Chain A
Amino acid sequence: MANHPNRSKQVERAVLVTTSHRGVFFGYATETDGATIKLRAARNCIYWPADNKGFLGLAAMGPLKGARVGPAADIELRDITAVAECSTAAVTAWESAPWK
């Protein structure tokens, strides 16, 4: 069956998602509006340094030197408090961040 010409294809975006349980996750999502968000290749930020200039710095710059980031896993998040779109530079930094 052909795709409807007016139906826009959902695009996966790199996002930073926070939860009310003190979760700070980077990952790729196609939908970010619902009560839950499915993140592909999610990475949990355990610690970020002051150079990151706060939470939004993780979306703008990605994890900087001294940050600690968990490995990638596919998950579904609930109790969402915020979603930020990540910059290209941030995506590069997240993808290259080692687990330890």
Chain B
Amino acid sequence: MEVAQAKLVRGEVPHSFLSGDGYGDGYGYGYGSGYGYGYGDGDGYGYGYGSKEYWLATIPHFARKWPDASQARLRELQEAGATIAFWRSDKNGRASNGGKNDPVAPGTVETIKGPLQICTKNALHATFIPPKWKGERWWIVALIGEIQTDDDKVGALTREIIGECL
């Protein structure tokens, strides 16, 4: 069977992507001297996160599948200066990365009391890099009003669910 080959044209295979289920073998003998050989090859599974720029650029792709009203709401929130990001839930639409909430759907608006403090219960969170988080369902959300950010995380006191990433 012909096996397709990839040609590395720049750089080297990132070590972090070779850290899977590698294999190797070897042998040796001793009594004061010895030698041995071995080989290894990373061939395990892998994962990546992408980037904030990439995931924000995918929003139009997801939005095109929404009803007109949801698409219009996205535009409205963007024009109003809301922060558009992602949020992941369990299969029922409930929080899956800490916190508790009722199941969400497009149009759901959640609010909490301040003062806003990201990474605490005093914030409703979202992310710019959704693969970093857990959750079966992915949503595009708007964080409204004051926000705080921490790496890929963003928090606010009001979060509106605009649509699902289908």
A55 to chain B, nearest CB (A): 4
Q: How large is the interface on A (under 10, 10 to 19, 20 to 34, 35 or more residues)?
A: 35 or more
User: Can you list 14 contacts pairing A with B, beta carbon distance less than 8 Å?
Assistant: A22-B16, A47-B46, A50-B44, A55-B13, A56-B8, A60-B6, A75-B54, A82-B8, A82-B14, A83-B8, A83-B11, A85-B9, A87-B4, A88-B4
Whether A84 sits at the interface, judged by CB under 8 Å, is yes
Knowing A70-B58, A73-B57, A75-B54, the reply to whether A24 touches B46 (Cβ < 8 A) is yes
* Interface flag for B27 (CB, 8 Å): no
By beta carbon, the residue of chain B nearest A33 is B10
Bound state CA distance, A80 and B10, in angstroms? 9
A69 vs B157: C-alpha distance in the bound complex, in angstroms? Answer: 32
A4 interface residue (CB < 8 Å to B): no
Q: Are A46 and B47 in contact (CB under 8 A)?
A: yes
* Interface size classification for chain B: 35 or more
Give Cα A70–Cα B165 distance, bound, in whole angstroms: 10
B11's contact among A25, A70, A74, A82, by CB below 8 Å, is which? A82
Q: CB of A65 within 8 A of chain B?
A: no
Contact in complex: A73, B48 (CB < 8 Å): no
A: which residues have CB within 8 A of B? 15-16, 18-19, 21-25, 32-33, 42, 44-50, 52-61, 70-77, 80-90, 99
**Inter-subunit contact B54/A16 (CB<8 Å):** no
- Assess the A32–B9 pair: CB atoms within 8 A: yes
Q: Is the CB of B6 within 8 A of A87?
A: yes
Complex-state Cα separation, A75 to B53, whole angstroms: 7
Which B residues fall within an 8 A CB radius of A? Answer: 3-14, 16-18, 20-21, 41-51, 53-55, 57-58, 61-62, 131, 165
A82 to B47, CA, bound (A): 16
Cross-chain contact A54 with B6 (CB below 8 angstroms) = no
* Contact partners of A80 in chain B: CB under 8 A: 10-11
Contact A53:B7 (CB < 8 A) given known A71-B58, A73-B57, A82-B12: no
B46 and A73: CB pair below 8 A? no
